[in-house]
Amino acid sequence: MLSPIRLVSEAADLAAHRHNGMARKGRGNEPYINHLAEVANLLATATDGVDAELVAAGWLHDSIEDTDTTRAELAHTFSERVASLVVECTDDMSLPKAERRRKQIEDAPHKSSGAKLIKIADKISNIGARIQSDPSADERDDLADYTGWAEQVVAGCRGGSAWLDTKFDDAVKAARALL
Ligand code: ZN
């Protein structure tokens, strides 16, 4: 078993390599790793740094969905819990987008407490990236659509961290102020 600092550091390194060259959706085509760093840092803050596996899973939460990383590899390199947290945050990409979105709302209340925190942190980060000064009509539509859906997913994830719940509410308020 890796020490807590090594666990997080190895996770950041693997994520940086696997998502290399990818850009995130939203403001300014930021590198994808910015999203992962933000989610991991929200999780570290929400749990006051006591749960290294959760922070590592934050770095890795999109690695199975968006790269060739496998559950077995994560279990072997990190731990069974890190692997299962990431799997819990992985959509079935063979389903159409509307179906994946519907499933996230439906499945959220049944996730582990750690996966619920990752989901909230992910939505905070993704709403934040869509908040831009002077949005176009398309950007405004995308923000309204994403925020409305994220609220439904997060409704099933609340209660594990009051701080994270408030951060999410603040992000929604900032989005609504633009709509
Ligand atoms: Zn994500």
pLDDT tens per residue across span 26-62? 888 899 999 999 999 999 999 999 999 999 999 999 9
pLDDT for the residue numbered 102: 98
Q: Which of 30, 51, 62, 65 is catalytic?
A: 65
Q: Whole-model pTM? A: 0.97
* AA identity, residue 105: I
Is-contact 175 131, C-beta < 8 A?
yes
Is-contact 116 108, C-beta < 8 A?
yes
Which DSSP symbol is given to 156?
A: T
Q: For residue 78, give the 3-state DSSP assignment.
A: coil
Distance (angstroms) between ligand 1 centre and the Cα of 96 equals 18
Is-contact 14 77, C-beta < 8 A?
yes
Q: Catalytic annotation on 169?
A: no
Give 39-43 contacts, CB < 8 A, sequence gap 24+: 39/118, 39/121, 39/122, 39/125, 40/8, 40/11, 40/12, 42/121, 42/124, 42/125, 42/164, 42/167, 43/117, 43/118, 43/121
Distance (angstroms) between ligand 1 centre and the Cα of 26 equals 13
pLDDT for the residue numbered 28: 80
Distance (angstroms) between ligand 1 centre and the Cα of 61 equals 6
Distance (angstroms) between ligand 1 centre and the Cα of 62 equals 5
Q: Which of 66, 73, 107, 151 is catalytic?
A: 66
Q: Catalytic annotation on 65?
A: yes
Distance (angstroms) between ligand 1 centre and the Cα of 36 equals 7
The CB-side HSE value for 135 (13 A sphere, CA atoms) comes to 19
Compute the radius of gyration of the chain from its Cα atoms: 16
pLDDT tens per residue across span 83-129? 999 999 999 999 999 999 999 999 999 999 999 999 999 999 999 99
Distance (angstroms) between ligand 1 centre and the Cα of 3 equals 25
Domain 4-176 has CATH 1.10.3210.10: yes
